[in-house]
Chains A and B, each alone.
Chain A
Amino acid sequence: MSATESQQAIEELAKRTYKEGWATDIESESLPPGLNEDTVRAISAKKNEPQWMTDWRLKAYRHWLGMKTPTWPFLPYGYGPIDYQAISYYSAPKQDKDRPQSLDEVDPELLRTYERLGIPLQEQKLLAGVAGVAVDAVFDSVSVATTFKKELAEKGVIFCSFSEAVREHPELVQKYVGSVVPYSDNYFATLNSAVFSDGSFVYVPKGVRCPMELSTYFRINAMNTGQFERTLIIADEGAYVSYLEGCTAPMRDENQLHAAVVELVALKDAQIKYSTIQNWYPGDANGKGGIYNFVTKRGACRGDNAHISWTQVETGSAITWKYPSVILQGDRSVGEFYSVALTNQMQQADTGTKMIHIGKDTKSTIISKGISAGRGQNVYRGQVKVLKNADNARNYTQCDSMLLGDKCGAHTFPYIDVKNPTANVEHEASTSKIGEDQLFYCQQRGIPMEDAVSLIVNGFCKQVLKELPMEFAVEANKLLSISLEGSVG
């Protein structure tokens, strides 16, 4: 193929469209824009929260007032200042005072919205031998439906919206909320602690293997709103849970803020697998609009042999700052991070992970694949920290970047801090353009350019994609090829 041809193909690819960009016309009630202590109290009141929750929110809000926006992320295109007074901190589809008791009562417009997104909220009959997926759907600020609750309850698994958990299981929430990401953690986590609206809550009791995949689907719909959800997942001793998260938003010219917090707690012998497919609206080709995805995700392996694994496919958002981390406290605990981040057009992603080795014989693996196309800027930023008592800690890090086109950038900023001589830490990274010879090989066999690129990109990401649960792997594959449509390589 000639250079110009591939150049053209690359440019084509960069002009992809965002197919989840429509908005649902639904009546919603929102708080007026603005942020002060009353806003925080109003959110808390809307959710009928107990006093301790309100106090916690206020404590976070007061702390936030004294904080500054972080400036360290690597954003060659910068980002517009966020006017925190112009955002509405609460938006919910209007409905009767009594919340729907079952799926049948959910507004059909909402059901159609999720149907259109490919997320069926009807509990489909399970096919023999195939486990279903329980879904918690979050629309703007509130959870609108959670499926398969009954089936899960039989096993003792609690899967509900965060607001419901605050009301129904206050002892669990009070014990664990903020225990992994404290309210004072960072600018956006603190803001979230003050104004978080909803999210999912999962508790898997001792020795229970959660019978199906749990999933939350986030959708920002209303204009000028921010989404601040908070997810808390607790796997008690010996428990296992796999959790998936997906997200989309309509196309809007303004940048919308999404500042979520996710906390995972894995006790002794427990395992949590957390997968994300992030497909927020990335803005248009000139970088106008799009979601600012500033998320704090952290898991703590509290007990021995605990295991937390993060898998993420990041294809959306105008800006992504996100560092899913694992604190390896228990001896022999394991942390994993698998990531594919794709930036196209004017997207900027500064993402990676932190692995903090505290316990003995702890192990972590980091596999990060960055793909930059169009004028996208992709950064891997990660930290591996081995503390003094973490004897025999082991880390393996591999981060590879692929560049499609000559206007994009790929950057790698790992931080490796080791205080124990028995640690064994390895970091490898490479950056290269998509292989001309590989493309040639495919084309020579009659595979069109675009398919060839898609094939090679998929191969490049395979190590990560194979970590995704089946249902998501298919979606991720599709998403990658759509995001790259026309791009080439």
Chain B
Amino acid sequence: MTTMTIQDHQQAGPLAELNPASLPQSPAWLQPMREQALARFNKLGLPTTRDEDWRFTNVAPIRDALLELSPNGQAVTLSQRDADTCAVPGVTGSRLVFVNGRFNASLSSIKPLPQGVRVLSLAEAIETEQALLKTHLGKLADFEDQPFTALNAALADDGVVVCVPRGKQVDEPIYLLNITTADKPLLINPRNLIVVEESAAVTVIEDYVSLNGEGVYLNNAVTEVVVGDNAHATHYMLDRESTEAFNISSLYSRQGRDSRFESHTALLGGSIVRNNVTSVLDGEGAWSQLNGLYVIRGDQTADNHMRVVHAKPHGDSRQFYKGIMNDRAKGVFRGRIVVDPDAQKTDAKQSNQNLLLSPDAGVNTDPQLEIFADDVKCTHGATIGQLNEEQVFYLRSRGVPYDTARAMIIYAFASETIDRMGCEPIRRLLKGQLLDRLPAGEVLKKIL
């Protein structure tokens, strides 16, 4: 068993340094990647706010939280009932439960899947799916300048591997329920690989929950999605963790010709949550949509970093992110659209809208364009504001009380994002949670 604290190494230098001895046992073909990632992480160190990519989010609280690696192979007992309480109600299909980053087979249920579709834990896949992993694992998640991705690549030894072969469609979503029962400040590195071959389709839901809604720990997740020609992949990222927890999630996708990729994100929990999405449109006529909502309060920080790369012609991309900040919460959005010289006829849109509900809330938004092709249509827009007083007045003049009017407008603002999500149980859950947070939410619940 390897237990190691980052803090120990802190004392030697300003930044954490991993010891090669702490790398998990892995087969010879995987070892070089781990070693490179470890060397890279040690070189980069944890980012500071002087790094352009981390200007607005200080990770010092994560560094100071004294993180421990999740003990290898140690089973944490969790009842089926606990797992059920944590899950999003109404999601059917296969459910894979991870407790403190470790796959728990007894709590999971894998429904019958179309022939050839593989859904298994990464730990198992390392033993049995060598060919698949050798082709895809770590190919999209470049850790050259991403310390947390490097950290994950060095240490991750569990997560999920989904492979949908050519022409197969998985109708019901594959639900990854990540439950953390932190009585200790754990460092957990979930690692997922989703391969959707030509003309195949699948939906994967990644959900992070803290047992009993408490605990200080870091989930440092990396998910790679390979979308084949004419394939359709949908990914959900839900963060409903304790307001003391840290979450850094990095999603990487690469798409083939005429493929579709949807990423839906909802950040409600966590103390510091960083959501990185890198979407590469690497085939002609690819379509990508990044849709997200962050609703935060208290001292929460939600930091969203999008990077959409148009590498081939005729690609369409859409980024829609909305944020609602209350109390002292801080929202960050940085979206970058990169259009390579070859990617003519690109149509890229990016929009980030923010509502600030309290005088102490803040937001930093940097919508960016980097364009090297001429025959393109790229737009981006960002707005920041409080509630529109005219809209409030309109409702009040019709006898709607102030609080209810406010709640209705906020609800409508967020609904636009939620309604883009195809999964009905998730929509229901998010709308419910949103209403719970609004002062006159009860009234609205009755109306809706």
Contacts and interface: CB of A to CB of B under 8 A. Distances in A.
B356 A421 contact: yes
Contacts of B366: 413-416
A431 B52 contact: no
A316 to B, nearest CB: 22
B374 A406 contact: yes
Contacts of B118: none
A404 interface: yes
A424 B372 contact: no
Contacts, number: 109
Nearest to A388: B359
B319 to A, nearest CB: 13
A418 B362 contact: yes
B135 interface: no
Contacts of A401: 369, 371
B364 A429 contact: no
A427 B385 contact: no
B249 to A, nearest CB: 24
Contacts of A412: 367-369, 380
Nearest to A425: B384
A410 B371 contact: yes
B167 to A, nearest CB: 37
Residue with the highest number of chain A CB atoms closer than 10 Å, among B52, B362, B372, B374: B374
B356 A411 contact: no
Interface in B339-372: 341, 344, 354, 356-359, 361-372
Contacts of A407: 341
Residue with the highest number of chain B CB atoms closer than 10 Å, among A408, A410, A426: A410
B373 interface: yes
Contact of B375 (A411, A419, A433): A433
A417 B362 contact: yes
Contact of A432 (B344, B378, B384): B378
B371 A403 contact: yes
Nearest to B334: A415
A421 B357 CA distance: 6
B381 interface: yes
Contacts of A411: 368-371
Given A409-B371, A412-B369, A424-B385, A430 B378 contact: yes
Interface string B363-400: 11111111111111111111111100000000000000
Interface residues of A, number: 35
A406 B373 contact: yes
A426 B369 contact: no
Nearest to A434: B374
A52 interface: no
A420 interface: yes
B358 A433 contact: no
- The B contact surface, by secondary structure, is strand
A261 to B, nearest CB: 25
A401 B379 CA distance: 10
Contacts of B371: 401, 403, 409-411, 431
B387 to A, nearest CB: 9
Given A403-B374, A421-B386, A427 B368 contact: no
Contacts of B361: 421
Contacts of B372: 408-409
A405 interface: yes
Contacts of B376: 403, 431-433
A171 interface: no
B171 to A, nearest CB: 39
Interface in A422-481: 422-433
A429 B380 contact: yes
Contacts of A409: 370-372
B359 A421 contact: yes
B385 to A, nearest CB: 5
Interface in B306-364: 341, 344, 354, 356-359, 361-364
Contacts of A425: 382-385
Given A407-B341, A418-B384, A433-B376, A427 B367 contact: yes
A42 to B, nearest CB: 37
Nearest to A379: B370
A225 B383 CA distance: 45
Contacts of B379: 428-431
A414 B366 CA distance: 5
A471 to B, nearest CB: 34
B327 to A, nearest CB: 11
B332 to A, nearest CB: 10
Contacts of A419: 362
Contacts of A416: 363-366, 382, 384
Nearest to B358: A421
A414 B368 contact: yes
A126 to B, nearest CB: 47
Contacts of B377: 430-432
A62 B296 CA distance: 46
Interface string A212-235: 000000000000000000000000
Interface in B40-58: 52
A409 B370 CA distance: 7
Given A410-B369, A412-B369, A415-B364, A427 B382 contact: yes
Residue with the highest number of chain B CB atoms closer than 10 Å, among A72, A412, A423, A426: A412
A29 B353 CA distance: 58
Given A411-B370, A426-B383, A431 B364 contact: no
A426 B356 CA distance: 14
Nearest to B382: A427
B374 A405 contact: yes
Contact of A429 (B358, B367, B373): B367
Contacts of B384: 416, 418, 423-425
Nearest to B356: A421
A408 B359 CA distance: 43
Given A420-B359, A422-B386, A423-B385, A414 B378 contact: no
Given A412-B367, A433-B375, 6 more contacts: A406-B341, A406-B344, A412-B369, A419-B362, A420-B359, A431-B369
12 contacts: A403-B371, A403-B373, A409-B372, A412-B367, A416-B365, A418-B354, A418-B384, A420-B359, A430-B377, A431-B369, A431-B379, A433-B374
Which 10 A-B pairs rank lowest in CB-CB distance, beginning with the nearest?
A: A421-B356, A403-B374, A412-B369, A431-B378, A425-B384, A427-B382, A430-B379, A409-B372, A433-B374, A419-B362
